[in-house]
Amino acid sequence: MKRTVLDRLTDMLDIADIETSYYDKETGKIIFRSEDEELADDGFDDELSEGCRYIPLPGPHDLNDYEIMKDFSRSVDDNRKRNILLTAISGKGAFRCFRQSIEELEMEDEWYAFKKAAYRNIAREWCEIHGIDLSDSMNIDDFEKKFSYIIMSRAADYFDGGRVTSLKEKKRGNWTAVVEGSEDYTVVVRLDGKEIIYSDCNCPYDGDLCKHEGAVFLSIRERLKRRSKKDLSSGENPGVEQDSIRKKIIDDLIEIMDEDELRKTLTEILQYDKRRRDDFLLKYGREHKDLL
């Protein structure tokens, strides 16, 4: 998959020597300046102070690694692991203790994924503040525009033909699927909300996006739509609706029943329903409390 502005910026935040990197608004490229270049009188400073073209990338002070570490520790489900991590970051040498605990608990993958997602959010906010267009990112609702017409129509054929099998969401946003064809290929997709932040297929196609990835994106979109429909219908609570229909019918019936019928019905209810009877006696027959 082609790397977006956001991909490149997120990776940049992970590199220590970030203070001499700049985003060039005109070309959309990230440029690096060596210490010598920084000191040279080449007019770069003037251009920088105008603030139109070059923007310094977020520095270490913008990336609150301690907060990210704390958020990660708190997010761990396992009580034991969570306590170990929270203890590690609570004293002196927090960063070193935390790294050590992560290694001992074999949680490197989870930690790096979490940190990367946090950096990505920082990069996204930074782009918004500086008015950097992120429209080169891909969304599960409209990824088609990133594909060439031919590749997308082949992808649609694969999808319609049921060639996408074993589609699974292993962790939230982490999808895998197998696409069956003359050979089977595995596609891995990572979503952040609706944004497609990573996608890879092990087929030999060397363009940006292949038909297998397109077919899997279509399947994921369909799965997500089905899921949200299900969530909606379970949220409606059909019981509540039925109760109100029932109440309306009862109101209408009481309206048309004559007094004798109502008396008879009420007597029957009070005879057979103990709870109703007790309520009735409590409310209207205080002098017969001993019968309750």
* 136 vs 2: CA distance, rounded Å: 9
Q: For Zn ion, give the closer residue by CB, 94 or 203.
A: 203
Does position 164 interact with Zn ion (CB under 5 A)? The reply is no
Min separation Cβ 79 and Zn ion, Å: 42
Q: Is 155 in the site for Zn ion (CB under 5 A)?
A: no
- Binding Zn ion by CB under 5 A: which of 132, 203, 224, 281? 203
Rounded CA-CA distance 179/170 in Å is 17
Which residues pair with residue 176 across a beta bridge?
Answer: 168, 188
User: Residue 103 Cβ, how far from Zn ion at the closest point, in Å?
Assistant: 35
Looking at 12-20, 194-202, 230-238, 259-267, which segment touches Zn ion (CB under 5 A)? 194-202
Separation between Cα atoms, residue 91 and residue 73, nearest integer Å: 14
Q: Which residues fall within 8 angstroms of residue 17, CB to CB, at 6 or more apart?
A: none
Would you say how long the chain is, in residues?
292
Q: Applying CB under 5 A, which of residues 84, 107, 210, 218 lies at the interface with Zn ion?
A: 210
Q: Which is nearer to Zn ion, 202 or 233 (CB)?
A: 202
Which range binds Zn ion by CB under 5 A, 153-161, 202-210, 239-247, 272-280?
202-210
- Based on CB atoms, which residue is closest to Zn ion, 115 or 212? 212
Each residue 93-132 as x (binds Zn ion by CB under 5 A) or -, in order, gives: ----------------------------------------
Which of 69, 152, 201, 218 forms a contact with Zn ion (CB under 5 A)? 201
Using CB under 5 A as the binding rule, whether residue 212 contacts Zn ion is answered as yes
CA distance 164 to 186: 10
- The H or E element spanning position 185 is strand 185-192
Mode of pairing for the β-strands spanning 164-171 and 174-179: antiparallel
Assess contact for 168 and 175: CB atoms under 8 A: yes
Return the number of the residue (210 or 218) whose C-beta is nearest Zn ion: 210
CB atoms within 10 A of CB 124: 19
To Zn ion, the closest distance from the beta carbon of 192 in angstroms equals: 22
In the complex, the smallest distance separating the C-beta of residue 25 from Zn ion, rounded to whole angstroms, is 34
Shortest distance, CB of residue 148 to Zn ion, whole angstroms?
14
Q: Do 186 and 133 meet the contact criterion of CB atoms below 8 Å apart?
A: no
**Dist. CA 292–CA 228, nearest whole Å:** 51
Q: How far is the CB of 157 from Zn ion (least distance, A)?
A: 14
Are 30 and 127 spatial neighbours (Cβ–Cβ below 8 Å)? no
> What is the separation of C-alpha 76 from the centre of its chain, rounded to a whole number of angstroms?
17
Q: What would the DSSP string read from start to end of 88-153?
A: HTTSTTHHHHHHHHHHHTT-HHHHHHHHHHHHHHHHHHHHHHTT---TTSEETTTGGGGS-HHHHH
- The window from 94-102, 161-169, 211-219, 272-280 that contacts Zn ion (CB under 5 A) reads 211-219
| Residues from 261 through 280 that contact Zn ion (CB under 5 A) | none
- Residues near Zn ion, by CB under 5 A: 201, 203, 210, 212
